[in-house]
Structure 1
Amino acid sequence: MWDRTWAEPARPPVRGSRHLVAASHPAVSAVGYHVLADGGNAVDATLAMAAQCWLSLPGQCGVGGDAFAVAREPDGTVWTVGGSGFGPDGGEPGFYRERGCAAVPLRGALSVAVPGAVAALLAMHARAASRPLERLWAPAIAAAERGVPCTAKTRLDIADHADLLRADPGTARMFLPGGTVPDTGTPLVFPELASTLRTLAADPGDFYTGDLAERAVATLTRAGAPFSGDEWAACETALTGPALSGGYRGLTVHQTPPPTPGWMMLQQAAICDGELHHVPPLGEHAVHWLAAAARHAFADRFARCGADTGAWRQLLEADEVASARAAIAGGRHAMPAGLRPDGDTTATVAVDSEGRAVSFIQSLAFTFGSGVTVPGTGIVLNNRFGRGAYLIRGHPNEARPRRRPLHTLNAWLATDSRDRLRYVGNTPGGDGQVQWNTQVLSHLADHGADPQQAVSAPRFTVYPGSDADALAAEPELRCEDRLGADVLAGLAARGHVVRRLGPWAAGGSALVLAADHERGCLAGGADPRQDGVVLGD
């Protein structure tokens, strides 16, 4: 039985009969809603929301970041877009070791990979948009020029990273006006970024082969990063193709392929399928199985997987899944891989009146990414290469030229046995993403939770995950204390090292939209852990 008290102080699910959007900031949701209300489709809404996110959630994403999406067309076709880039052509492991680095640096020019967000958006626009980018990005450009109120979230991000921001003239100018952390409500104005968005709306390719590309590469090479410029041009075309798919409780779950960890959600779902629907949701048994499945997925990822290998496919085979299930049933836990608790990402979801659905996610990797801006552009560059590439000799994820580092971003949607859209969801949260997405899926499919209940439920996270910079952390199971003392004690008795968190302190900002075919409407939920809003009519 679903315990509704877990969801307090969550909001009731939002229902709409035609179209629905959800994002982690009200202004982002509003932009997407207005596109749909004006006759645009879900891809149009996603493109508009992506640009607004760069202003409303600037610590979490930007032009200099990465992006991924999974989309379903009204005819049932499911497709994906992957926007992530290579590290520098001169980024052989020896380059970093010669400079005394035990790992690729986490900040600064040496941490940057070629951004893929613009390539992803361009591919989405070419595939299914109905309106020009100039029109879709006009609200974001106007907001950049007039100023965007600093939210409590952005103020905290700035305060926590003030030293990083002060070190770069571009970030200092944007986020520390007058040299101080802005108060909540203070307008943050981005005139340089507004000019850049106008350029990109007219010619997105300029980011990879034009003036913007040349300026970005020059900035990085002056700072010592071994970019040639050729790797920048090689990332102009995003990765596109079909989704990865797997089953869970009669649903087909569609995920983004590598370099994302989408297969890890499918692996966890396969391990847990049939094990959870007959036990109390978020009871000791359910949490144990979900946590143990996540631990197996991270151990497998670290031991066997790189972005350009197919080892993950074997992990979804029936014999591998059966082996993992047997290990969990026998009380054996996979060994941890590594931990990186920092990181910031944001997501959007949209469904239009034709039934087209898009789950979209984008990130700078860590909050404010590398901390490096391209002068005069307002573009903050990511630190994905530092976060995602290893310096472990011979590892399939070892730093190499033209090898995309492993990613934390992923996006999912689910269809029913009649191939109808059922759910579209997402969450930011680093290595928590594949875990929380699986938890939300279980709440929906195993226990009949509505979208708001599913995203508001108590959350738990296995640490460490598999980020590059801390691969020997002690294992923990971090649990929001709303799970209850009895459940936490039971998990400890099963061998988990339990760390209690505050009732809403696990992180993330989960979003889910659901198609209710019996009632003929859409329902949506937005995580109360951030400022998410669902809008529709």
Structure 2
Amino acid sequence: MFESQTYAASPRDSAPRRAPVLSAGGMAASAHPAVTFAGAAVLADGGNAVDAALAMAAQSWIALPGQCGVGGDAFAVVREPDGRVWTVCGSGYGPDGGDHAFYTDRGLTAVPATGPLSVAVPGVPAALAALHAESGSRELPALWERAARTAEEGLPCTAKTRGDIADTVMALRADVGAARALLPGNRLPEVGQRLPQPDLARTIRALAADPAGFYTGAFAERAVAALKDAGAPFSGEEWALCGDVTPQPAVTGSYAGRTVHQTPPPSPGWMVVQQAALCDGRLADLEWLGAEAVHLLASAARLAFAERVERCGSDSETWRESLTPEAIEVARKRISLGDIPRGYARAADGDTTSMVAVDAEGRAVSLIHSLAFTFGSKTTLPGTGVLLNNRLGRGAYLIPGHPNGVKPRRRPLHTLNAWLVTNAAGELEHVGNTPGGDGQVQWNTQMLSHLLDHGLDPQAAVDAPRFTVHPGSDADVLGRPDELRCETRLGGSVLDALRARGHAVRESGAWDAGGSGMVISADAGSGCLLGGADSRQDGVALGV
């Protein structure tokens, strides 16, 4: 079913080929060994894939503090053993007082990217509570106790986390709670130094006992009061409204005879479905990662971003128009004529992390959560250990009348999306995701093609050379010149051919595209699960 692939690269650009992990039972994968182990331990103890994903999510708050946290947002897609597929979308509103005039009256030309004014109501607690209520089999206090103990003791600081802290050190020093947790002795931590977070441990236990308490009651009142004191115009009513997340159907599309299931808005999951439709039936006959294939995928991504920037908002249904057969045919013709939009918005790097789990019954979960940029707003809720997101600053435009313009009770657009693939019989074939800002919808589409058009195994699919169109649709800088950022492992002849086709190619290092993809695949022939975790970070897949 699966094939290995070699890369068109020089020997110095290559890395040892990793085989996929095999399991006859369940499997978990994430971007950090301790996170994957937390999920695998739950599966080994008889918990299901939803239980495993919940345990991994909490553990990642300590293992990957720059990428995710209680104060962030979360999205997930789940397949049940009976074939039912559903999603949860945890993403909150900006402040009720944060209309367009609030920012322009203060002389701002964009919603601030950091600080209290960049914060949207966190969606993580509500999303995880909904995930647990719908399909969890273990109590949350038991699932999150490992994470609480880890927060008390501290995990060894990784090179990734130390680099994240170093890159944002001045902003972190300015916040008492962030500095206490991440800069012990007011110094950069060394790799291997433990970073205990006792305040966060107490918060994790409190949330496990009562997730709704984040949005109502004493905790919510404390959070809203702190933000109001810092100048963010929250009323408290918008905070309470975001505590109720209801499972939703997935956005679906067809690719290579399978069904791709994606998270709905404000997630950009529909953009993956659109790109897949534009490329369906065309990539399998092209050279794998040859210039023609890269050109087609990059063109599809540019069209998707243009549609999003021009007319799509989280509270409108215009995205559905982009997925109609008529719209897909028009977009395909535009690609064939070279009528590709340019220069819409810079795709910021951002920081996110994700995880996947499959249990022995065939239940599968893809979960992704984020603070938006690294360490989010760089603002903590005092005494809680909770770093708050900067999703409003990252996702909402300060453009009057725009469907994604900043507006009370409107969720800003998101970069997070999660997916899984089923066959015609509704059986699970693949479940996966990748972090990486506006790279996500592009790299997820690329991984789908690797898996479905070329039969790559999961490890080969997540490790394959990547390319990324810039600009994307983040709000921080609009109208930047376009680029096609390519890992050099694509090979010099491919990069030269792309330049000849008019792409502004910018070479990155052999493994420097970003992201940390993971995939678990079900092999119908052997009955095994195969898992892969990205070599670009510390990812691990474990079977039980």
1:452/1:77 CA distance change after superposition, 3 Å: same
Q: Supply the distance in 2 between the matched residues of 1:24 and 1:483 (Cα, whole angstroms).
A: 24
Deviation string 1:66-106 (CA, Å, 9 cap, x unpaired) is 00000000000000000000000000000000001101000
Whether 1:275 aligns to 2:282 is yes
Q: Supply the distance in 1 between the matched residues of 2:415 and 2:7 (Cα, whole angstroms).
A: 31
Q: Supply the distance in 2 between the matched residues of 1:62 and 1:212 (Cα, whole angstroms).
A: 16
The residue number in structure 2 matching 1:56 is: 63
Contact 1:337 1:472 in 2 (8 A): yes
One-letter code aligned to 2:65: P
Q: Supply the distance in 1 between the matched residues of 2:276 and 2:211 (Cα, whole angstroms).
A: 38
The residue number in structure 2 matching 1:236 is: 243
Q: Supply the distance in 2 between the matched residues of 1:65 and 1:10 (Cα, whole angstroms).
A: 35
Selected match of 1:250 from 248, 257, 261: 257
Q: Supply the distance in 2 between the matched residues of 1:121 and 1:24 (Cα, whole angstroms).
A: 19
Whether 1:430 aligns to 2:437 is yes
SS at match of 2:77: strand
1:29/1:334 CA distance change after superposition, 3 Å: same
Contact 1:72 1:79 in 2 (8 A): yes
Whether 1:196 aligns to 2:203 is yes
Root-mean-square deviation (Å): 0.9
Selected match of 1:390 from 389, 397, 421: 397
One-letter code aligned to 2:474: D
Selected match of 1:33 from 37, 40, 48: 40
Displacement of 1:319: 1.1
Q: State TM-score, norm by structure 2.
A: 0.98
Whether 1:419 aligns to 2:426 is yes
Whether 1:298 aligns to 2:305 is yes
Equivalenced residues, count: 537
SS at match of 1:205: helix
Displacement of 1:2: 6.2
Deviation string 1:510-536 (CA, Å, 9 cap, x unpaired) is 000000011111001100000000000
Contact 1:345 1:429 in 2 (8 A): yes
Q: Supply the distance in 2 between the matched residues of 1:3 and 1:524 (Cα, whole angstroms).
A: 16
Whether 1:364 aligns to 2:366 is no
Matches within 5 A, 1:129-528: 129-528=136-535
SS at match of 2:142: helix
The residue number in structure 2 matching 1:3 is: 5
Contact 1:93 1:399 in 2 (8 A): yes
Q: State TM-score, norm by structure 1.
A: 0.99
The residue number in structure 1 matching 2:11 is: none
Displacement of 1:212: 1.4
SS at match of 1:423: strand
Q: Supply the distance in 1 between the matched residues of 2:48 and 2:336 (Cα, whole angstroms).
A: 46
Contact 1:83 1:239 in 2 (8 A): no
Q: What is the percent sequence identity of the aligned residues?
A: 62
One-letter code aligned to 2:62: L
Deviation string 1:120-156 (CA, Å, 9 cap, x unpaired) is 0000110000111100001001111111110010000
More deviation in 232-241 or 279-288? 232-241
The runs of 4+ residues in structure 1 deviating greater than 6 Å are none
Contact 2:266 2:411 in 1 (8 A): yes
Deviation string 1:38-88 (CA, Å, 9 cap, x unpaired) is 000000000000000000000000000000000000000000000000000
The residue number in structure 2 matching 1:535 is: 542
Q: Supply the distance in 2 between the matched residues of 1:342 and 1:272 (Cα, whole angstroms).
A: 25
Displacement of 1:331: 1.8
One-letter code aligned to 1:369: G
SS at match of 1:314: helix
Q: Supply the distance in 2 between the matched residues of 1:434 and 1:286 (Cα, whole angstroms).
A: 17
Q: Supply the distance in 2 between the matched residues of 1:380 and 1:469 (Cα, whole angstroms).
A: 20
Contact 1:70 1:78 in 2 (8 A): yes
One-letter code aligned to 2:299: A
Uncovered stretches (5+) of structure 2, i.e. residues with no partner: 9-13
Q: Supply the distance in 1 between the matched residues of 2:442 and 2:50 (Cα, whole angstroms).
A: 26
Displacement of 1:267: 0.3
Q: Supply the distance in 2 between the matched residues of 1:334 and 1:526 (Cα, whole angstroms).
A: 33
Q: Supply the distance in 2 between the matched residues of 1:383 and 1:25 (Cα, whole angstroms).
A: 23
Whether 1:20 aligns to 2:22 is no
Displacement of 1:192: 0.4
SS at match of 2:149: helix
Q: Supply the distance in 1 between the matched residues of 2:516 and 2:197 (Cα, whole angstroms).
A: 25
